[in-house]
Structure 1
Amino acid sequence: MLNGLNHITIAVSDVSRSFDFYVNRLGFTPKAKWAGGAYLSLGNLWLCLSADSVATREDYTHYAFSIRSEDFDVYVKKLKSSGITEWKINKSEGKSIYFLDPDGHKLEIHDGNLDSRLRACIKHPYEKMEFF
């Protein structure tokens, strides 16, 4: 029986560049690095950067990372000053910034959680939304 998320692997075109981005801009903790990849952590999240050809997609698939509300504004200011590219403007509950990593992977920093999202959706449900 499944019991949670094990890890996320992201294809990257330049391991050193992506390692620098995730460690020095986003604050991941480096665990290991080699010619073809790197292992990083953020809380309980295990992230693998794997050297590969990268094909960006035009859908809504993205990876969201949590942040405390009181840290959000300072963190976003730091990100923006580093030259990140935003790919979407937040229109949902809580504070979010949507931006791209060096290979165009869609990322989000969000200060809410599933409970806060569901509370907001109960007040303003999406079209044909059903709750369980």
Structure 2
Amino acid sequence: MLNGLNHMTISVSDVSRSFDFYVNTLGFIPKAKWDEGAYLCLDNLWLCLSVGDVTPREDYTHYAFSIRGEDFDEYANHLKSAGVTEWKINKSEGKSIYFLDPDGHKLEIHDGDLDSRLNACIKYPYKNMEFF
């Protein structure tokens, strides 16, 4: 039986550039780096950067990282001053900033969690929404 997310692997075109972004801009902890990749972590999240062909997606697929509400504004300002490209404006509960990494992967920083999202959806459900 599955019990959680093991790791995420993201294709990158330049390991050094992405390593710098994820470590120095986002604050991931480096664990290993080699010519074709790197292992980073953020709390219990294991992220692998792996050199490969990068195909930007046009759909809504993105990776969201948690942040405490009291840290959000300062961190969002840090990202903006680092020159990240924002790809979406937040319209959901909680605070979010949606931005791109150096290869165009869609990322989000969000100060809520599943419970806060569900509570907001109970008040304002999406079309034909069911709760379990």
- Unaligned residue ranges in structure 1 (runs of 5+): none
In the alignment, what sits opposite 2:30?
Answer: 30
Alignment RMSD, CA only? 0.3
Question: How far apart are 1:108 and its partner, in Å?
Answer: 0.1
In the alignment, what sits opposite 1:125?
Answer: 125
Distance 1:120 1:43 in 2: 26
Counterpart residue type for residue 50 of structure 1: S
The normalised TM-score by structure 2 is 1.00
Within a 5 Å distance, the mapping from 1:50-129 to structure 2 comes to 50-129=50-129
Distance 1:23 1:65 in 2: 14
Distance 1:112 1:57 in 2: 25
Deviations 1:80-99 (CA, angstroms, capped at 9, x unpaired): 00100000000000000000
- Unaligned residue ranges in structure 2 (runs of 5+): none
Distance 2:128 2:98 in 1: 26
- Name segments (4+ residues, structure 1) moved above 3 Å: none
Residue correspondences, number: 132
In the alignment, what sits opposite 2:42?
Answer: 42
